[in-house]
Structure 1
Amino acid sequence: MNEIPYTHELETDQQVFKFITKKEIMTSKDLIHDISNLYDVIYHPPDMLTFDEKEELIEEKLTSLLISYGGLMGRMKENFPDKYETIKEIYSQITSLSQSRIRQRVVSHDRRMIAIEISRLASQAYEYVKAMEENTASSKSNQALKNAKKLREDLRSESIIMGDLLRECKTICRYLGISENNQWIDWEMNGYQGLFKTKGEAREKLPKYRLASMIFYNPFNRQLQLPHYINEIFGIAELEQPIAELEPLKKNGMMIHSSATLDELNKMLREKGSLNEDSFVSIASVPNNYIDRVINGVKNRIHEFLDEIILELEYGKIPEEIFSQIRREVDHKLTTLCPGAIEKLTITYEQLSLDKNPEIYSQVAATCRRVIKDVADVLYPPTTDVSHSENGKPIQLDDTKFKNRILEAMKLSIDSNTEKIFISSMFSYVDEFLSGIYRYASKGDHAKFNKTDATRCVVYTYLLLGDILHYYTVDKTNLEKIK
């Protein structure tokens, strides 16, 4: 892959787009990552770098941001053409400012302010695109709900084909991103052959409705009463076929005239001295009531699946919408206040949905504490100064005392003592919860944590940040008070 040139080497928009095409389609996650990186080099550049090296590093991060933004433009143009012009207008402002940075190379203060303004504009675009992505997810959920309701009605029809129902269930799974958790749909459609190494494993792991009692006949079409030891091994059939192969058999059942199973059965009879002309097994039959049992079993499973989907999408989204509103408000304020915190929370959120490793779950608490500390560092930077409580007790405000620093910053914005007590109490609860999980994790006792614990960490963190940012506004007055 060719090395991406710095912004000052990109003289035209066409050159920027040339490099954009070399990267995959971007998402808002890519953009917030680049915004966070740009913030870091603007506000916290490595000390050992010279002035020119710092400027070069900023140019590099700006170029990466431009490429991410350009990738988003292509995505918006394809999926949201009516919103494309707004995104394009912001991009034009960013590229224009970027060229201004190049022309004002000598004036370091102006160049720094331009970089900050570019970050602000990119943050504005991030919020816009994030909203578009959430709307897309909401549209998919609505379509999945609509399909699930229709499918549940279709289940009442006697003529419905199970294969068609299962294909519709797969579509619903794709809309909701839950295909991996519903592999049974593929197994019912494509069959269970090859999934099990032995008959014993098949009998243990197959759905119970796919186990059937066999009836055996001799060459004279007489039903056989086979020895108990034969029935234990061969008397139960594991119906592993795709549902489409079983449905046509629901009227007459399944007849097996020749198979490796019959050969093995007769061989065992011969070895036991029980095989003769009358006891030779030439036909094995699975009665149609067992085929019906499979079809009804699949139908019931589909019904349960649809009921869960409808219940979750119709009623489960009420608390989800409440949390989503809080999350949007927090993300909106953090976009300009502390973009690095958003990136950490986004990655953590994705890990919760994708990873099932208890070690990952226990790491969520540490990440959430780091996010809260990142916010504290912005709201009230560490200081050697000491504050005092109402009773004169000293309050340390150094780097490790981020709880004290946040509460100290909020004192500047909250007049009500009741509200101060409430926020302090909630902070203490959340901090103790996260600290407790972190202490267990430090001892390597990851087995104590599950997805519910990790989810609570993220939810509590968002609720706490929501309250903090609701009361606290970053403005010049507060900053002057802190100074």
Structure 2
Amino acid sequence: MADQSRSEHILELAKELLDDIELSRTSAESLILKASRLARWVGSEEIRYWLKLEMGGYNGSNEISIKYMGITGRWLNREKQTGYWGPLAQQEAAIEAEKAKLAALRTPDSSGEWASVAIANVTNAMTQASNNISRLSGIRTRVLAQLHAFVSEIYYEKQFDSLSESIFERYKSDVDSLIAESCGDVLEQIPSVMSRLAEGDQEAISQSLTTCRRVIDSFADSIFPPSEETIEIGGNQLSLAANRHQNRINAYIHQRIDSNTRKKRFRQNLANLYDRVSTGVHNEVTVEEARALFLNTYLLIGEILHLPSNDA
């Protein structure tokens, strides 16, 4: 299953489960079975084992079982190890049995010396049935609360992931079009960076950072080719020679925006980025940092290409 369809399947299953729980539209056994399917995709080992307990019953030999006996309110006496060890479906069945028993109980219409005893027995039976229903319902409520918390976390996490992916994919498509239009050579080098980052070893990381630096240099050559001229920015005369890639990118930015604050931010970001990809070639850089540098490179290029032709 493709990553996207897998993510969609998880989101759909989580949404269905939330509706099942919140609308009380299916049995406990069905809920646990469906939640177990979700847990196989994304759940932790602890959650998967807990759901297994809710399907097959608890035990006194496993620490997760003991932990969730407490979380779900199953203990009658923790020290004596007495409690409701059965699965959720068994607790639901017991609730229905107690309700039926309660419905069948009637205060006897009798008189005489045994009347008070008979009434007391029925009253006690009603009280016991009501207490059992309350206790068993408490277990059910706690299990459903745990289940709801687990499913909600997955659902909202996947919703956020899906939204983030959608936003980035739209932006990426836009930036790729601009790069292809303005500097196609840059676009050709991006797959090389991604491929090396996927390898993850230090040599591949160093090569990917070298390519990142070349991407920035190629970008400069495409948007502002080298010349023998100079340009004045902030009172400084800057060379636009072939080896002055940052100057030429800053010149491109300078010609398109008026805001000195924004120009400064671009200049600082570019300088920091160029320095990091350059020094990272010779120093140990983690794969996570290298990915962040590549992403920063890509986003900076995209932001620069989105600048208007002439802001003056």
Q: TM-score, normalised by structure 2?
A: 0.53
Q: 1:303 aligns with which of 137, 148, 162?
A: 148
Q: CA RMSD in A?
A: 5.7
Partner residue in 2 for 1:49: none
1:328 aligns with 2:173: yes
SS class of match (2:174): helix
Distance change (3 Å), C-alpha of 1:183 and 1:347: farther
> Does the alignment pair 1:379 with 2:219?
yes
Task: State the alpha-carbon separation in 1 of the partners of residues 44 and 53 from structure 2.
Answer: 14
CA distance in 2, matches of 1:197, 1:339: 61
Q: Return 5+ residue gaps in structure 1 as ranges.
A: 1-78, 80-132, 216-230, 254-286, 352-359, 474-483
Structure 2 counterpart of 1:151, one-letter code: L
Note the residue ranges of structure 2 that are not aligned, 5 or more in a row: 99-131
Aligned residue identity for 1:299: L
Matched with 2:31 is: 165
Task: Tell me the equivalent position of 1:415.
Answer: 255
> In the aligned structure 1, how far is the partner of 2:239 from the partner of 2:141?
68
How far apart in 2 are the matches of 1:329 and 1:320? 14
1:385-396 mapped onto 2 (5 Å cutoff): 388-390=230-232, 391=235, 393=237
Preserved contact between residue 73 and residue 142 of structure 2 (Cα < 8 Å) = no
Instruction: Tell me the equivalent position of 2:301.
Output: 465
In the TM superposition, what whole-angstrom CA distance separates every residue of 1:48-91 from its partner, at most 9, and x where no partner exists? xxxxxxxxxxxxxxxxxxxxxxxxxxxxxxx9xxxxxxxxxxxx
Q: Taking structure 1 as reference, are residues 171 and 414 closer, same or farther at Cα in structure 2, changes over 3 Å only?
A: farther
- State the alpha-carbon separation in 1 of the partners of residues 83 and 230 from structure 2: 78
For residues 439 and 290 of structure 1, what CA distance do their matches in structure 2 show? 65
1:213–1:328 distance in 2 versus 1, CA, 3 Å? same
Among 330, 339, 342, the residue aligned to 2:191: 342
State the one-letter code of the partner of 1:405.
Answer: H
CA pair 204-394 structure 1, distance change in 2 beyond 3 A: farther
What code does the residue aligned with 1:160 have? T
CA offset digits 1:93-144 (Å, max 9, x no partner): xxxxxxxxxxxxxxxxxxxxxxxxxxxxxxxxxxxxxxxx7xx82x665565
1:151 and 2:35 correspond:
no
Within 5 Å, give how 1:65-104 maps onto structure 2: none
Of all paired residues, the percent bearing the same amino acid is 15
Are the equivalent residues in 2 in contact too, given 1:189–1:243 (CA < 8 A)? no
SS of the residue aligned with 1:322?
A: helix
2:20 counterpart letter in structure 1: D
Aligned to 1:66: none
Closer, same or farther in 2 for the Cα pair 1:169/1:344, shift >3 Å? farther
State the alpha-carbon separation in 1 of the partners of residues 301 and 91 from structure 2: 56
Contact 2:230–2:239 under 8 Å retained in 1: yes
Q: Deviations over 1:456-479 (max 9, x none)?
A: 666544421212344699xxxxxx
Q: 1:317 to 1:163 in 2, by over 3 A?
A: same
Cα separation, 2, equivalents of 1:186 and 1:197: 18
Would you say the 8 A contact 1:423–1:467 is kept in 2? no
Superposed CA offset, 1:275-321 (max 9, x none): xxxxxxxxxxxx77665444323322332344445545656755543
Q: Is the 8 A contact 2:50 2:65 kept in 1?
A: no
Partner of 1:187: 49
1:368–1:329: structure 2 CA closer, same or farther, 3 Å change rule?
farther
1:428 aligns with 2:294: no
Distance 2:306 2:84 in 1: 61
SS in 2 for 1:155: helix
Residue 323 of structure 1 aligns with an amino acid whose one-letter code is F
Equivalents in 2 of 1:243, 1:438: separation in Å? 60
Report the secondary structure of 1:418's partner residue. coil
Q: 1:376 deviation in Å?
A: 1.8
Distance 2:140 2:279 in 1: 51
Kept after mapping to 2: 8 A contact 1:368/1:457? no
Query: Residue 300 of structure 2 aligns to a residue in which SS?
Result: helix
**2:269 corresponds to which letter in structure 1?**
Y
Contact 2:209–2:290 (8 Å) recurs in 1: no
In 2, the alpha carbon distance for the partners of 1:433 and 1:169 equals 45
Write the distance in 2 (CA, Å) between the matches of 1:309 and 1:148: 7
Separation (CA, whole Å) in 2 of partners of 1:433 and 1:288: 65
Contact (CA 8 Å) 2:17, 2:31: kept in 1 or not? yes
Aligned length: 262
Aligned to 1:111: none
Q: Displacement of 1:375 after TM fit?
A: 1.1
Secondary structure of the 2:26 match is coil
Correspondence list, 1:263-302, <5 A: 292-302=137-147
Contact 1:384 1:397 in 2 (8 A): yes
- The amino acid across from 1:344 in the alignment is V
- Once the 2 structures are TM-superposed, how far is the Cα of residue 408 of structure 1 from its aligned partner? 1.0
CA offsets 1:20-73 (integer angstroms, 9 cap, x no match): xxxxxxxxxxxxxxxxxxxxxxxxxxxxxxxxxxxxxxxxxxxxxxxxxxxxxx
**TM-score normalised per structure 1:** 0.38
Alpha-carbon distance in structure 2 between the residues aligned to 1:308 and 1:186 = 15
- Give the whole-Å Cα distance in 1 for the aligned partners of 2:136 and 2:278: 53
Distance 2:265 2:294 in 1: 18
Q: Conserved in 2, the CA contact under 8 Å of 1:188 and 1:243?
A: no
